[in-house]
Structure 1
Amino acid sequence: MIRPLPTMAALRAFRAAAREASFTRAAVGLGQTQGAISHQIRELEARLGVLLFERGPRGLALTGEGRSYLAFVEEALDRLEAGEAAVSRRQRPSVLNVSISPNFATKWLVPRLGAFLEAQPEIDLRISASTRHVDFRVSDIDLAVRHGDGNWPELAVRRLCEEEVFPVASPALLKAGIALKEPADLARFPLLHDRDRRFWHDWLETFGAAAENAAHGPVFSQTSLAIDAAVSSQGIALARSALAALDLIAGRLLRPLPHARPAAFAYWIVCPPRTARLPRIRLFRDWLLAQAAQDAARLGGP
């Protein structure tokens, strides 16, 4: 007689509890009660005849047997979920959920999307804009574009573009007749700030200009707002290459000085390794990379 396997609910409860080191957090992530998670874990332990967790005052910790079992459970669930996704895609449009930051959405992605959607009408694209890094383990997000150092070893990571930081201004502002040849000349213009004045302060110091000039000018909560204010001739903003690219290409902004600093972070395309080769994800990732390469070629930047 074949012994029945554990239920999917029990295996998912075990995986969630192991990842969160908490029955309570696992319950929240799975939309269940803490008692239900605890009950399913006890049933698994009774079935296997071993303890999967050590329960202590500081929370849960996997036992040696629990760590061994988790590797099998994660592999099995990952394969089942990938199989389900592959089969369900044949029955409905290929849904692609993408997470990006509001700045990246406004200044880079949204203006370009029409061409992608026209070329790939079978993809049902859904964009979620958030400043928080998505947790792929508990969300339905397929792919994200993150701003950071690229150090996410649990994910498949591809750099979208290198970036520099440099001043940008509208053609109208630069036609006002005020000489602008060196970073020190920026003191003659209003400076537009992104979140705080530290970024202009550090940039000016890098090029030997008086950093006290950064003590004035409006402060915007989003980089995109500072760039849009520069387009409207309200002052000079510090821009990152990716976010200013379309405005520079269209001539709405100019680089009044050649001076630039390497950006501390870059944009990266990330997704879980098990789904990195799915056709819809490969299509969108390749399109993103092609767009970034076109920007670099047209602007002569990195």
Structure 2
Amino acid sequence: MAKGRQLPPLDALVVFETAARAGSFSRAGAELGLTQSAVSRQIGKLESFIGSKLFTRTPQGVIPTVTGETYVQEVSRLLDGVAGATEGIRAWRGPRQITIACSRGIADLWVLPRLAALKADVPDLELRLRVTDDVAHLRTDEYDLAIFYRRERPAGLAVTELAVEEIVPVASPGSAPLEAQESPILLSIDDPVREWFGWGDWLTDAAVTRPAGARDWKLGDYRLAVEAAAQGIGVTLGWSWLVADHLRSGRLVPVHKHWLRPSGRFYLLRPLDRHARRIVREVSEWIVAASEADRVC
């Protein structure tokens, strides 16, 4: 422990985070295997250490105070980090076990449609998929391979470029060109963690004026935006590598001739701080071949 570090009682932090999430001391106790009074004592101990009340009691249970709400966000993040670090240390290292990290959009639209082929082509594979859009806080001990879109080439990793990205407005078959649509719904996601280009970026690059009466629907998840567009609800920006299957099948069609070509790429990443096991090499080669097959198609 670093000299002078003032740490709160660590057991109390776990109890505090659980109580805030459960909204009740009794429910927190049931989750942790403690009595309600034991939960209350732990919270009291933490409040004494901090010097501030963390909860307000209500007839329905407890709610965090302003201080408690701020504190629980940080505590939750740190506990998640500890859990992740522990999981990383205990990570799979069996001869046919592998952990692949990727974003939600890549998992939904590129990995999932290819899992059956991966199962058939890589015998006896044991797979764990680590899905996160917070790539900035993803540690290299949490994965063997990772697939992410990055605006700049990542440093300190073994990097293989999978795809140059192109972005074009897409909608369901039979949709009018974007410029001819009246009051179109522009489908997108709203998440500052992800390095997404938005409608403003595309409109500026295309030198196109925002359609009159256009309405924004921010769905929070790229797969939802893609499916909503395929169902004829509106128009979304299609990242060509992610929606290639939809374009090939005809579920989505471009509704404008302009393709935005940003500097970012989809990359396959591998940590350099450990030996690449045989299964890691096999799956890496499979992913690269699958991506190349997409370009051929």
The aligned amino acid for 1:248 is L
| Matching residue of 2:296 | 297
Over the aligned positions, Cα root-mean-square deviation in angstroms equals 3.2
Work out which of the two has the higher radius of gyration on C-alpha atoms and give 1 or 2.
Answer: 1
Within-5 A mapping of 1:277-288: 277-288=276-287
| Matching residue of 1:135 | 139
Q: Is the 8 A contact 1:155 1:270 kept in 2?
A: yes
Q: Is the 8 A contact 2:166 2:261 kept in 1?
A: yes
Q: Is the 8 A contact 2:169 2:238 kept in 1?
A: yes
Task: Give SS of 1:211's match.
Answer: coil
Q: What TM-score, normalized to structure 1?
A: 0.60
Is residue 228 from structure 1 mapped to residue 227 from structure 2 by the alignment?
A: yes
| Matching residue of 1:241 | 240
Aligned length: 208
Residues 123 and 24 of structure 1, relative CA distance in 2, 3 Å threshold: farther
| Matching residue of 2:66 | none
| Larger relative helix fraction | 1
The aligned amino acid for 1:292 is S
Residues 155 and 257 of structure 1, relative CA distance in 2, 3 Å threshold: same
Q: How far has the Cα of 1:125 moved from its partner? A: 1.2
| Matching residue of 1:154 | 156
Residues 212 and 232 of structure 1, relative CA distance in 2, 3 Å threshold: closer
| Matching residue of 1:97 | 99
Alpha-carbon distance in 1 for matches of 2:275, 2:164? 22
Q: What TM-score, normalized to structure 2?
A: 0.61
Which has the higher mean CA deviation after the structures are superposed, 200-209 or 235-244? 200-209
Q: How far has the Cα of 1:201 moved from its partner? A: 2.5
The aligned amino acid for 2:279 is R
| Matching residue of 2:26 | none
The aligned amino acid for 2:145 is L
Deviations 1:187-219 (A, max 9, x none): 553321232898212312322321364851311
Alpha-carbon distance in 2 for matches of 1:164, 1:276? 34
Within-5 A mapping of 1:85-234: 93-133=95-135, 134-136=138-140, 139-171=141-173, 173-174=174-175, 178=176, 180=177, 184-186=179-181, 189-195=184-190, 199-211=198-210, 213=212, 216-234=215-233
Q: Is the 8 A contact 2:184 2:215 kept in 1?
A: no
Task: Give SS of 1:218's match.
Answer: strand
Alpha-carbon distance in 2 for matches of 1:290, 1:129? 22
Q: How far has the Cα of 1:115 moved from its partner? A: 0.9
Residues 167 and 111 of structure 1, relative CA distance in 2, 3 Å threshold: same
Task: Give SS of 1:217's match.
Answer: strand
Q: How far has the Cα of 1:289 moved from its partner? A: 1.4
Alpha-carbon distance in 1 for matches of 2:218, 2:149? 21
Q: Is the 8 A contact 1:195 1:223 kept in 2?
A: no
Residues 122 and 169 of structure 1, relative CA distance in 2, 3 Å threshold: same
Q: How far has the Cα of 1:168 moved from its partner? A: 0.8
Gaps of 5+ in 2: 11-90
Q: How far has the Cα of 1:143 moved from its partner? A: 1.1
Q: How far has the Cα of 1:275 moved from its partner? A: 4.2
Gaps of 5+ in 1: 1-12, 18-22, 29-84
